[in-house]
Chains A and B, each alone.
Chain A
Amino acid sequence: MGVRVIEVRERVMARNDELAAGVRARLDAAGVVALNLVSSPGSGKTLLLERTLEALGDELSIAVVTGDIQTQNDADRLARHTDRLVQAVVTGGACHLDASQIANALDAIDLERTRLLFIENVGNLVCPASWDLGEAAKVTVFSVTEGEDKPLKYPKTFRVSSQVVINKIDLLPHVDFDLELAKANAASINPALRFFTTSARTGEGLEGWLDFLRELVAASEVAA
């Protein structure tokens, strides 16, 4: 018998985190700000991106990586607004994007021509929170049809996000959604969160979101 215990103590996410650090270094070197959009399915993430591309696609040289699981639908919709779209390789059962997929996607993006990169994650409020993709920040999108207790049910997503977009506010008259309570719930999880309230459908509130993106890119260029 030669029984021995091999000490490992290795973090299981270590490989993803190494790849994410590599992605972050490439983005920093090229002066690209990356935002990782996280939400449940149906929050209006793709329409918000379409509106953002319409308004700022050229001004901020936006590129997009999208991770739709089963269809080309999101990619087809976004492709109408930009030719700078890369579809992450996602298999049928994937619940999140990981850093290796983003590292591969970056190879297909002209980073020197890009100032802002959106990563449209798989629609899911649980798993994407655990995976660093090398982004500058995670942005959670949730809609008024989902209930104001969403931050309490999915605290990790809100804890690791820097911004929250509360979308579909055009539906507020038709649903029992307490906007202030939703913000208070999110702030109780993460007091540093910055909020935007939008309707990607009607355009209401989009200016605040677009101004934030302009400021974010300008600030990163000053820092560089």
Chain B
Amino acid sequence: MHEMSLAHEVCRIAEAHLPPGPTRVLSLGVEVGDDVGIEVANFRFCLEALLSEPPFTGAALDLTIQPGTDLRLVYVEVDDGRPSH
């Protein structure tokens, strides 16, 4: 039942890691432990709803399920418009 608050927290952490300046978020990698105590389909629904809004608009969700009790934001893939090395 707290899937939405966890989805919000994922977005808060992701936003804190975005580089300054105009940035397009391409995808978010999230790992869900199988003993986290959430409904994964519901969590995915909440997160995808939030990813339809700025600053994430259009970002894909890469959600993997792992053994364990941790829920982690693993990575944020961005396009910041600067040339890559």
Chain A residues in the interface with B (C-beta under 8 A): 1-13, 15, 95-96, 124, 126-127, 129-130, 156
Are A129's CB and B13's CB within 8 A? Answer: no
Task: Known A-B contacts: A2-B81, A4-B78, A15-B9. Give 15 more (CB < 8 A).
Answer: A2-B82, A3-B79, A4-B79, A5-B77, A6-B18, A6-B19, A6-B75, A8-B75, A9-B73, A12-B13, A12-B73, A13-B9, A126-B1, A129-B37, A130-B38
Q: Is A8 a contact partner of B17 (Cβ separation < 8 A)?
A: yes
Interface residues on B, range: 20 to 34
User: Is B61 part of the binding interface, using a Cβ–Cβ cutoff of 8 Å?
Assistant: no
Whether the pair B6, A8 counts as a contact (CB closer than 8 A) is no
CA distance A127 to B14 in the complex (A): 23
- What's the least CB distance linking A176 to chain B, in Å? 29
A12 touches B80 (CB 8 A): no
Number of interchain pairs (Cβ within 8 Å):
78
Q: CB distance B1 to A130 under 8 Å?
A: no
B22 to chain A, nearest CB (A): 11
Give the distance to chain B from A87, nearest Cβ to Cβ, in Å.
20
Q: Which of B1, B17, B81 contacts A6 (CB 8 A)?
A: B17
CB distance A3 to B35 under 8 Å? no
Q: Mark B17-48, 1 if CB is under 8 A from A, else 0.
A: 11100000010000000011110000000000
Main secondary structure of the interface of A (DSSP, over half): mixed
Q: Which residues of B contact A10 (CB under 8 A)?
A: 13, 72-73
Closest to A124 in B: B1
Per the bound structure, the CA–CA distance linking A7 and B73 in Å amounts to 9
Distance in angstroms from B78 CB to nearest chain A CB is 6
Interface pair B37/A5, CB less than 8 Å apart? no
Residues of B within 8 A of A95 (CB): 1-2
Q: CB within 8 A of B84: which of A4, A127, A156?
A: A4
With both beta carbons as reference points, the residue of chain B lying nearest to A3 in the complex is identified as B79
Question: From residue A121, how far is it (CB to closest CB) to chain B in Å?
Answer: 13
Q: Knowing A11-B70, A11-B71, A129-B37 touch, does A2 contact B84 (C-beta < 8 A)? A: yes
Q: How far is the CB of A16 from chain B (nearest CB, A)?
A: 8
A194 → B minimal CB distance (Å): 23
Chain B residues with CB under 8 Å of A124's CB are: 1
Q: Which 6 pairs between the two chains have the least Cβ-Cβ distance?
A: A95-B1, A2-B82, A12-B71, A6-B76, A130-B37, A2-B80
Asked if B74 contacts A8 (CB within 8 A), the reply is yes
* B80 pairs with A11, CB closer than 8 A: no
Is B50 interfacial (CB-CB < 8 Å)? Answer: no
- Are B35 and A156 within 8 A (Cβ)? yes
Complex: A129 Cα to B6 Cα, angstroms: 14
Contact of A12 among B26, B35, B72, B79 (CB under 8 A): B72
